[in-house]
A = this chain, B = another copy of it.
């Protein structure tokens, strides 16, 4: 559908994720950008399941425009989170440059979890497999590899327990997602405390004393029906 003949001029390589803005009319390009920004805000604020119409409205375009540019929600999601993912890779790279292996490892965990707090959609985007989004997948794999290196280094330095597994990062992210899900001021504090607990569990040299825990947050209970209430 929506083939639009303009596709495929061979010189714009990298029609990577979702047919990049290659040859769009100026207004279209402008709207595309607005949509992306609106989607980014919306995803961050309410997670990946915001109604498409809400994104369109926020962007000041009609739904049709949204759908023409991003035929599926997935295409929109991968496009939106492409740079967040890049940020993550940046975090990992930065940590890899850190001469202190444990600090590098710790920083990644802390920063990633902090990002999750700031962006309600981040976790879902990260932990979801997008068979179509090649570049997206590639970049995630890159981040994973970097983290694996970080892990190995910290382990070899004797700071990280030997049985820490690569998949434990996913474990941490999902756990943090659970804590952060019902976004609130308290969520950020709770997340920090969670992370501190995790790091305490992960470290293996107990020669130095453990750092203090962030204060406990009075994590609120859910209000009834966390699902229906949204929107």
Contact = CB atoms under 8 A, between A and B. Distances in A.
Interface of A: 48-49, 73-74, 124, 127-131, 163, 165-168, 170-171, 174-179, 181, 190, 193-194, 197-198, 200-202, 206, 212-213, 216-219, 221-228
B167 A194 contact: no
Contacts of A219: 167, 170-171, 174
B213 A202 contact: no
Given A178-B179, A197-B198, A221 B171 contact: no
Contact of A225 (B73, B131, B217): B73
A188 to B, nearest CB: 13
B190 A197 contact: no
Given A74-B224, A171-B219, 10 more contacts: A49-B228, A73-B225, A124-B222, A128-B224, A128-B226, A168-B216, A175-B176, A175-B194, A177-B178, A200-B200
A171 B179 contact: yes
Contacts of A124: 222, 226
Nearest to A131: B224
Contact of A197 (B174, B176, B201, B227): B201
Given A130-B224, A165-B216, A221-B127, A171 B193 contact: yes
Given A179-B178, A201-B201, A223 B129 contact: yes
Ordered nearest first, which 7 A-B pairs have the shortest CB separation?
A: A178-B178, A165-B216, A175-B175, A201-B201, A197-B201, A200-B201, A128-B222
Contacts of A49: 225, 227-228
16 contacts: A49-B227, A74-B225, A127-B221, A128-B222, A129-B221, A129-B222, A163-B212, A166-B216, A168-B197, A168-B216, A170-B219, A178-B178, A197-B202, A198-B201, A200-B200, A206-B206
Nearest to A126: B221
